[in-house]
């Protein structure tokens, strides 16, 4: 395990820097992972030597770029267990993917009075798009409750997931609680009442092997920057039979077949959903990020990250007045907590002064914060490049923060 971590850490130059006079401890991977050197170098090579637009080019650089771009689509399809690369739409990230499904599927195939079901643990990216189309089209938006331990309330789910439900939009892994939901079971439950399931896999993509075809998932999205890749790039998976009947989300170049002043006919999937010049470097960088990630044994990585989570909980629970949020049996390496009587933002600032990077605030989930009656939390999240020393630094940093802020 130490060899695995050492091998990984050597790729992340950001960890070599000094922040506020101390070596950096990066515990904010749930927000975005650091980028390995292989990804940085691949992006540099693309911009230095390969920069050209893709599709329809008549020269070497364009042909090469198109080949690399479409190869990335194939790699993502394989990563997600999709049947075809035609089912992979490139987007800016999970947020755009959810908006695309809401506007191109939800707004066109639901009727007034139909219900959309989300949960209290959703990121705003999986709340607001549904809220927008519900308000505009007179759909009914409901949310499944979360238990005090941070798990879905299945009793409440069974009450609210009915034949009136046409879309069930759910996170596979909570970015606040770390809770990993049973997506195969939730997919079957949705299909049993005739609903389409939309899965936010932004946090899940780094935790488990995903099998969209095997589990019969309808839509699933992730962001590359959560998996060591570039920002501003992600992918939406959609079942082909659903994508083929959906209208375009945006208009412009590349998404068309023929254009006249009177009418436009649209390109085949997935291109009809990819208007304009795409994030070519993002696709190429994502391919390299997937290659980097897949070189490791996922079971070993998960074992390492969960060991750090357990170690952090054990150390931090000795701090008087600490309260944890999220106690699910199946979790990602995400630890949310508060110190009694101290605002989470103040804790984050004192930790930063010690070179420790955490996230504070509502984490784009004010509904969940309201559920627990708090303004926000401190969140520490672990990845492959973290080690036991980082846990010790976090513990000592919190002791100092408590002494300074009490």
Cβ neighbourhood burial of 180 (10 Å; 0-12, 13-18, 19+): buried
pLDDT above 80: residue 4: no
Torsion (CA) 93, 95, 99, 102 in degrees, nearest 10: 110
Please give the structure tokens belonging to residue 180. 């990993």
For residue 118, the model assigns a pLDDT of 98
Q: For the chain, what is the mean pLDDT?
A: 96
Distance, in Å, from the CA atom of 169 to the CA atom of 201, rounded to the nearest integer, reads 11
pTM, to two decimals: 0.96
173 is catalytic: no
Going from the N-terminus, what domains does the chain have, and what CATH number goes with each?
2-30+297-405 (3.90.1150.10), 41-294 (3.40.640.10)
Query: From the CA atom positions of the chain, what is the Rg in Å?
Result: 22
pLDDT digits (tens, 9 = 90+) for 50-98: 999 999 888 999 999 999 999 999 999 999 999 999 999 999 999 999 9
Half-sphere exposure of 83 (CA within 13 A, CB side): 11
Distance, in Å, from the CA atom of 127 to the CA atom of 99, rounded to the nearest integer, reads 10
Please give the structure tokens belonging to residue 184. 């195969």
Residue range 149-174: mean pLDDT, rounded = 98
pLDDT digits (tens, 9 = 90+) for 297-353: 999 999 999 999 999 999 999 999 999 999 999 999 999 999 999 999 999 999 999
Distance, in Å, from the CA atom of 336 to the CA atom of 356, rounded to the nearest integer, reads 15
For residue 1, the model assigns a pLDDT of 59
Beta-carbon contacts of 97 under 8 Å, excluding residues fewer than 6 positions away, are 89, 91, 219, 221, 234, 235, 236
pLDDT digits (tens, 9 = 90+) for 206-242: 999 999 999 999 999 999 999 999 999 999 999 999 9
Parallel, antiparallel or unpaired: strands 88-91 and 25-26: unpaired
Residue range 130-159: mean pLDDT, rounded = 98
pLDDT bracket for residue 257 (50, 70, 90)? confident
pLDDT bracket for residue 5 (50, 70, 90)? confident
pLDDT digits (tens, 9 = 90+) for 105-126: 999 999 999 999 999 999 999 9
Kindly tell me the sign of the dihedral angle through the C-alpha atoms of 256, 260, 261, 265. Answer: negative
Distance, in Å, from the CA atom of 223 to the CA atom of 125, rounded to the nearest integer, reads 12
Number of Cβ atoms within 10 Å of the Cβ of 221: 28
For residue 85, the model assigns a pLDDT of 97
Half-sphere exposure of 203 (CA within 13 A, CB side): 28
Q: Which of 128, 242, 306, 364 is catalytic?
A: 364
For residue 3, the model assigns a pLDDT of 76
For residue 403, the model assigns a pLDDT of 94
Kindly tell me the sign of the dihedral angle through the C-alpha atoms of 122, 124, 129, 132. Answer: positive
What proportion of the chain, given as a percentage, has pLDDT over 70? 100
């Amino acid at each position: 395990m130490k060899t695995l971590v050492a091998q990984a850490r050597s790729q992340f130059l950001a960890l070599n820097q000094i922040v506020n006079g101390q070596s950096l401890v990066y515990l904010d991977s749930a927000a975005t992972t650091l980028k390995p050197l292989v990804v940085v170098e691949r992006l540099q090579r693309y911009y230095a030597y390969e920069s050209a637009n893709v599709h329809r080019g008549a020269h070497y650089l364009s042909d090469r770029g198109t080949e690399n771009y479409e190869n990335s689509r194939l790699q993502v399809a394989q990563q997600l267990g999709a049947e075809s690369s035609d089912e992979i739409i490139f987007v800016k990230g999970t947020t755009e993917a959810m908006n695309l499904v809401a506007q191109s599927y939800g707004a066109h195939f639901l009727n007034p009075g139909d219900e959309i079901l989300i949960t209290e643990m959703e990121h705003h990216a999986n709340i607001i798009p549904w809220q927008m189309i519900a308000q505009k089209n007179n759909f009914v938006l409901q949310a499944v409750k979360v238990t005090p331990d941070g798990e879905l309330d299945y009793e409440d789910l069974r009450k609210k997931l009915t034949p009136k439900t046409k879309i069930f939009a759910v996170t596979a892994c909570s970015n606040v609680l770390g809770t990993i939901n049973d997506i195969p079971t939730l997919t079957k439950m949705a299909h049993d009442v005739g609903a389409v399931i939309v899965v936010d896999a932004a946090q899940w993509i780094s935790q488990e092997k995903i099998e969209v075809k095997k589990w019969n998932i309808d839509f699933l999205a992730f962001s590359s920057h959560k998996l060591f890749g570039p920002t501003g790039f992600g992918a939406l998976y959609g079942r082909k039979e659903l994508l083929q009947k959906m209208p375009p989300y945006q208009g412009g170049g590349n998404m068309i077949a023929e254009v006249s002043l009177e009418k436009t006919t649209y390109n085949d999937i997935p291109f009809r959903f990819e208007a304009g010049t795409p994030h070519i470097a993002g696709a190429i960088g994502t391919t390299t990020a997937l290659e980097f990630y897949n070189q490791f044994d996922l079971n070993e990585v998960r074992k390492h990250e969960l060991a750090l989570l357990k170690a952090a909980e054990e150390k931090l629970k000795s701090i008087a007045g600490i309260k944890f949020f999220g106690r699910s049996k199946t979790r990602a390496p995400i630890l949310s907590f508060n110190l009694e009587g101290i605002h989470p933002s103040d804790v984050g600032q004192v930790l930063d002064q010690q070179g420790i990077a955490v996230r504070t605030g509502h984490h784009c989930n004010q509904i969940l914060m309201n559920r627990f009656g708090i303004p926000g939390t401190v969140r520490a999240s672990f990845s492959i490049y973290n080690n036991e020393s980082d846990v010790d630094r976090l513990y000592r940093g919190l002791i100092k923060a408590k002494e300074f802020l009490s």
